[in-house]
Structure 1
Amino acid sequence: MLPVVSPLPPQLDPVVRHLYVHVPFCPTICPYCDFHVLTRRAGLVERYLARLDEEARELAATFRVDLDTVYVGGGTPSFLRDEELRALAHSVQRHLGWGRLENTLEINPGTVSAARAAHWRALGFDRASVGVQSLDDATLRFLGRQHDAAQAAAAVQTLVAGGFRVSGDLITAVPGQPLDTDIQGLVDLGVGHVSAYTLTIEPGTEFARRGVNVSEDDERAGFERTEALLTAQGFTRYEVSNYARPGQESRHNTAYWLGRTYLGLGPGAAGHYPSPVLTVRRTNPHLHEWLTGAVGETLPIDAEEYVTDALFMGLRLQHGIDLADLSRRSGLNVPQRYAAPLRRNVERGLLTLEGDRLRATPQGWWVLNRVVTDFLEA
């Protein structure tokens, strides 16, 4: 059972308005993936759904919840059978409600049909995040994807026609990838949002065991070429790796970047929760331990860690972060407390400060980890 929390300090909203739900099941495990995923086994999904319903009830009893957004990710949520996803959605809606502004479902192209798209819409999902990754068959084979380019294109077209706001995921810096063709293809399919992430080789993945490498030159070339092509097509780069047409930004992910609190539901799900001190981060245990009712690792966040977390996330956004608002929320005088790293990074051309608005420059985006480390060491 989750601990009951006391009232928050007055500077933070005591109501949690965002929910992430993790579905750990995938048909196969991609060689670059380091998320908590596994293939389904007999009876496992049923046990997952039963425990999910219990945890949703516990969250509802512990926190004040009034949801603006819900994001169901994984894993492959669309890999769930229709009745399974219906049970998941009904558990969320019964105990926690549903997002007023946005409800996103992560979708694998190989799971899409017109009938299933209509079913997802009927459940209340209005935004689809589609794991296209590439529209080139050779690139998809290298990435270990089970769909081909034709399936990906058909899936996006079906979801657009079905009334979804559609985001296409794209992996860049893949050896031999025709990036220009991938980007133009996504735009032509009618997506309103593109998430473009550099291929990253994480320890423990199949790619790491194979010795696959991504050069910094290829990473930077993909980084810059993606921006050039998408902005030329009318997309705005509103976050380091995310581009949108006007009004198509991800409201749920923007809440992360703005440092808002959110609930984490499901095995391996992370949450950022209100607490009597300031906030708490908790990561749920993996599936088999989670099924027993175990509570994951809990990390209290003090004012200084809250600020550096907020800087790391907020500086990913094109409009940056309001230091006066951050001072109000954290209880620290941020410009005064971090005057030295602010001055250094402005002088280096990595940050700009206009009034209370702190932004990363394009060069600062490229070395954002280094910038935030300077604040951590202050």
Structure 2
Amino acid sequence: MSALSPAPPVKHLYVHVPFCPSICPYCDFHVLTRRSGQVEAYLEQLEREAAVLAKLYTADLETVYLGGGTPSFLRDEELARLTDTLRRHFGWGRLENTLEVNPGTVSPARAAHWRQVGFDRASVGVQSLHDPTLRFLGRQHSAEQARSAVRELIGAGFRVSGDLITAVAGQPLDSDIAGLVALGVGHVSAYTLTIEPGTPFARRGVTVAEEDEEAGFTRTAQLLTAAGFGRYEISNYARPGQESRHNSAYWQNRFYLGLGPGAAGHYPPPSALLKAERRTNPTLPGWLAHDFAHGPAGQSEAVDAEEHVTDALFMGLRTRVGVNLAELSRSSGLDVAGRYAAPLKRHLDAGLLIRQGEQLRASEQGWWLLNKVLGDFVNA
């Protein structure tokens, strides 16, 4: 790219929909229950934000992802209005368009509507197929509702991913996984229960023992691999061809647009003389109050060469394929193997990282200790 050449088109779009039917006690995302007039104000402001970003960045979308919150909690006419806004300003994803879905919001008619407005993949917050575990997690749906939701979405033609929380006390993990597999999902996202500061679980003193975390981490991999799912990212498993294209863009450190309150984006530089940027929007009150006539919301941070490298390592080492050191050196302008020789040697010698030619990836044990490994690169 020459100094005056335009930025490359952005191929991925994330939209944050913060509204939920209820707030789970483990959740630390930007979410809130809907109040009168809030969704209308949100949709109006989203239109303004989309118009501004469409002027700043060229989009040639491959994927669109509506996350939250509970995007499927939007009424049919609200979701149709939102997708119309996106289409007018950016187009629509050619390869994959994902809607995050709460099982309690699914019906055959609603699933058909979601398909009609353009979604072809559903990420379903199953979390467990064991009613006592769901009650402990504060989920409002039952195990049978989750099963029914997955069946209805598959019947409507969706590629379905099931979210699962592991390391919950009393959870029958084996039957949870077997149940998801039997339902016919093509993808599973399995995350350890994490107690984040400020959440109701943290205030109640809920804890998760490290041995339970590691046992759930290991057992999930064993069972899903045996069932024919490939582990292509530390917490994500897919049948062949069912990998999340949108989330893979994050893990490959690609550029993406982020719309909505609390949304983050990774933006290309407008010319070779400038740096790429990351920007995170304020939460709903600040986002609604922002005057988009003066430009995007949120604080922009230029991504320098070392941040580019550590970002790429942070995301890429989560994946099965890892990162290519030669390509990372070219894209950053740094000699990555030389600049980070000390942490590379330390973790290669310990067996936490594996290097084959220029390809660097984490071992199974390295995945379990990935935060420690990545911290050494950040502090090098």
Normalising by structure 1, we get a TM-score of: 0.96
CA distance in 1, matches of 2:352, 2:91: 42
Letter in 2 for 1:149: A
CA distance in 1, matches of 2:284, 2:94: 29
Structure 1 partner of 2:149: 155
Count of equivalent residues: 372
Structure 1 partner of 2:23: 29
Q: Deviations over 1:284-306 (max 9, x none)?
A: 00111111225212211100011
**1:100 matched to 2:94:** yes
Secondary structure (helix, strand or coil) at the match of 1:289 reads: helix
Letter in 2 for 1:28: S
CA distance in 2, matches of 1:51, 1:171: 33
**Counterpart among 237, 241, 251 of residue 247 in structure 1:** 241
CA distance in 2, matches of 1:135, 1:351: 35
Q: CA offset at residue 317 of structure 1?
A: 0.2
Mark the CA change 1:9 to 1:353 in structure 2 (over 3 Å): closer, same or farther: farther
**Counterpart among 292, 313, 322 of residue 289 in structure 2:** 292
Q: Deviations over 1:201-237 (max 9, x none)?
A: 0001000000000000000000000000000000000
Gaps of 5+ in 1: 1-6
Letter in 2 for 1:177: Q
Structure 2 partner of 1:192: 186
CA distance in 1, matches of 2:146, 2:4: 47
Letter in 1 for 2:314: F
**1:203 matched to 2:197:** yes
Gaps of 5+ in 2: 292-296
**Counterpart among 206, 209, 212 of residue 206 in structure 2:** 212
Structure 2 partner of 1:355: 357
CA distance in 1, matches of 2:377, 2:228: 34
Structure 1 partner of 2:294: none
**Counterpart among 67, 70, 79 of residue 73 in structure 2:** 79
Structure 2 partner of 1:125: 119
Q: CA offset at residue 8 of structure 1?
A: 7.6
CA distance in 2, matches of 1:307, 1:127: 31
Q: Deviations over 1:110-153 (max 9, x none)?
A: 00011100000010100000000000000000000000000000
Contact 2:324/2:359 (CA < 8 Å) preserved in 1?
A: yes
CA distance in 2, matches of 1:63, 1:331: 24
Structure 2 partner of 1:279: 276
CA distance in 2, matches of 1:325, 1:114: 46
CA distance in 1, matches of 2:3, 2:371: 30
Q: Deviations over 1:151-197 (max 9, x none)?
A: 00000000011100000000000000000000000000000000000
CA distance in 2, matches of 1:10, 1:298: 21
Mark the CA change 1:72 to 1:218 in structure 2 (over 3 Å): closer, same or farther: same
Contact 2:7/2:57 (CA < 8 Å) preserved in 1?
A: no
Normalising by structure 2, we get a TM-score of: 0.96
Q: Deviations over 1:59-90 (max 9, x none)?
A: 11001211110000000000000000000000
Q: Deviations over 1:227-266 (max 9, x none)?
A: 0000000000000000000000000000000000110000
Contact 1:11/1:331 (CA < 8 Å) preserved in 2?
A: no
Contact 2:325/2:336 (CA < 8 Å) preserved in 1?
A: yes
Structure 2 partner of 1:270: 264
Q: CA offset at residue 344 of structure 1?
A: 1.4
**Counterpart among 152, 172, 181 of residue 178 in structure 1:** 172
